[in-house]
Structure 1
Amino acid sequence: MYIFVSNYSIIDKCQSKDRSVLPLFLGSIIYNKRREMNLTQVELAQDVCTQNTISKIEKHNVAPTVNILIKICLRLDLTLNDVFSEFSSKANNQENILDKIEEKALLKDIDGLDKEIDSLRSKLSNDDWKQYELINGVLDFWKNNIETSMFTFDKVLQYTKSDETDVYTLLAYLFKGLRYSNQGFADQASYYFKMITAAFEEEKDIDNASDLEILFIYKMIAQSFDEMKLYDDAYQLSQEGLDFAQERNVSYFLDELNYSAALALQNGVNHKQAYEDHYNLAYYLAKLNDNKSLMHDIKNMQNIG
């Protein structure tokens, strides 16, 4: 689970639609951990924030800015997940199971997912099949069964009738674009990616999309544009993803989106301050999320002058 941390403040409780997460900030966790470590509020606040900020966190669950929260969590050896509770508004159990399997698939947490998805096959409603096939296509893609996955994504597009207001159409386009990007065919990859971004521009809310799905799309396209050396496009997509996350108060892939933005700025137009901001956020969020692979990539980046 990832929890969103705004560049300005963290919303302690938010509304959510469809399949998104509803987070609740828990100042009591910080209070208990501080007491456990025998720290006063003044000691915890030193070089981080004011004592009054700590008091508001602990007594009133008032969440601070991202930079302050990161420093507090690092000082107390807490993760972002430790200071939020998670609960879901979704009632349909069958859909919930499919959503959880899809989330694992998109996050590449695929061990045992084949058996899980197969066990649901006989229980699917007509509306479930596009998601079911999407998951199968994603699993094959991560296993490098590329041709099989492309055939499966074509089946997804048959179910959705290539309706670009349906998130499963956009996810199928995404993986088709990734196939071409991975093979070095920039024009073909851009064709699919730009169909997705055009759909986002025309349809601000994709009705059946979860926040994770939307941010996964932003993350993957931004990464691909960086790899294709389309740095302006990479920066724009990473920024749009970060803006979407801030608007929806979620934090899926914030470390990777900030990394993509930093990489685009490092290799494109030199914006030193913006680069440093994205670089630092990427590093600290990757550290809090224990994303060792990303931390390695970030450390290998060179400073820009």
Structure 2
Amino acid sequence: MFLGSIIYNKRREMNLTQIELANDICTQNTISKIEKHNIAPTVNILIKICLKLSLTLNDVFSDFTTESSVKEESALDAIEKDVLLEKISDIDERMSSLEGKLNDNDMKQYELISGVMDYWNKNYDVSLFDLDKVLQYTKSAGDDIYTLLAYLFKGMNYLGQKHNDRAQYYFKMITTSVDEVSQISNASDLEILFICKTLAKSYNIMGLYKRSYDFSRCGLNIAQTRHVSYFLDELNYQAAYSIKDDNNEKQAYQDYYNLALYLAKSNKNESLLAKMR
């Protein structure tokens, strides 16, 4: 079932007219076009519709599939996904079960996972060593997602150690590829949005708010275009944080903040909710 049909059916179930649903959200014509599958709503409008219709994001996104979700997910892909989502309780055991079963092409992903795990566990020096091995396997090719993820985590390692200049060096190496990152053949939606939200957060930490806002918006636009919901709460929060002191963006700040709060509650993202209390 398509998004427009989900909204149409729920609206009819609640005995709402298109005008009633559109009130304080958008125009009746916009609701009509969404229900007829003529346009896709912005994330902002979609979330307001969800709130009024008591729909969750899972309700409206569950029927969309991406290329990466259609193809069979390998064991390494599944592990990498959990690691990027910081679901790491059983990763060591799952990685051990793959020893001796990997080919040369798998090794860059295997070493990336190892480097990310060491980063989450604050083993920064070991993490940097693993990430350098990733770059050896990819030959630092800018069109390989594992090159960009290795640069990202090297930058995060240095940022965590307060070496902001080194962190910016690696983040800028990603920035040169950001316009093409969505076209990288071996990149999943999760990986792309992880890069966007992490760069947005990192630039906010460094006080580079314009760059943070740009990457927040980049991630939100990609999520809207591809109908995926990874990190929407954090992307909206980073967008809000980057403009919180701009007197010309007070309404935009409130919109991003409210969306982030709603999404964080929906996702039970306790770490983000703690920041927002």
Does 2:147 match 1:169?
yes
Counterpart of 1:243?
A: 221
Counterpart of 2:212?
A: 234
Unaligned runs of 5+ in 2: none
More deviation, 210-219/42-51: 42-51
TM-score (norm 2): 0.83
Query: What is the CA deviation profile of residues 124-178 of structure 1, one whole-angstrom value per residue up to 9, with x for unaligned ones?
Result: 2221111111111111211112222111111111111111211111111111100
Does 2:78 match 1:100?
yes
**1:41 aligned to which of 16, 24, 31:** 16
Distance in structure 1 (CA, Å) of the matches to 2:4 and 2:157 = 42
Secondary structure of the equivalent of 1:134? helix
Does 2:90 match 1:112?
yes
Distance in structure 2 (CA, Å) of the matches to 1:161 and 1:113 = 26
**Contact 1:34 1:40 (8 Å CA) reproduced:** yes
**Contact 2:193 2:219 (8 Å CA) reproduced:** yes
Distance in structure 2 (CA, Å) of the matches to 1:256 and 1:288 = 12
**Paired letter, 1:45:** L
**Contact 1:105 1:138 (8 Å CA) reproduced:** yes
**Contact 1:231 1:267 (8 Å CA) reproduced:** no
Distance 1:61 1:156, change over 3 A: same
Counterpart of 1:132?
A: 110
User: How many residues in Structure 1 have an aligned counterpart in Structure 2?
Assistant: 273
Distance in structure 2 (CA, Å) of the matches to 1:32 and 1:266 = 35
Distance in structure 2 (CA, Å) of the matches to 1:298 and 1:214 = 25
Counterpart of 1:179?
A: 157
Percentage of matched positions with identical amino acids: 53
Distance in structure 1 (CA, Å) of the matches to 2:36 and 2:139 = 52
| Superposed CA RMSD | 3.2
1:1-305 aligned at under 5 Å gives the runs 24-25=2-3, 27-28=5-6, 31=9, 35=13, 39-42=14-17, 45=21, 47=23, 64-83=41-60, 84-87=62-65, 89=67, 93=72, 96-201=74-179, 205-267=183-245, 270-299=248-277
Query: What is the CA deviation profile of residues 234-284 of structure 1, one whole-angstrom value per residue up to 9, with x for unaligned ones?
Result: 122222222333333323212211211111111457422332232232222
Distance in structure 1 (CA, Å) of the matches to 2:270 and 2:8 = 25
**Paired letter, 1:81:** N
Counterpart of 1:3?
A: none
Distance in structure 2 (CA, Å) of the matches to 1:172 and 1:46 = 45
Query: What is the CA deviation profile of residues 153-212 of structure 1, one whole-angstrom value per residue up to 9, with x for unaligned ones?
Result: 111111111112111111111111001111211111100100110122466622211121
* Greater RCO, 1 or 2 (C-alpha within 8 Å, sep 6+): 1
**Contact 2:11 2:17 (8 Å CA) reproduced:** no
Q: Quick check: which one's helix share is greater?
A: 2
Distance in structure 1 (CA, Å) of the matches to 2:249 and 2:7 = 38
Secondary structure of the equivalent of 2:87? coil
Distance in structure 2 (CA, Å) of the matches to 1:34 and 1:292 = 34
Distance in structure 2 (CA, Å) of the matches to 1:133 and 1:298 = 35
Secondary structure of the equivalent of 2:82? helix
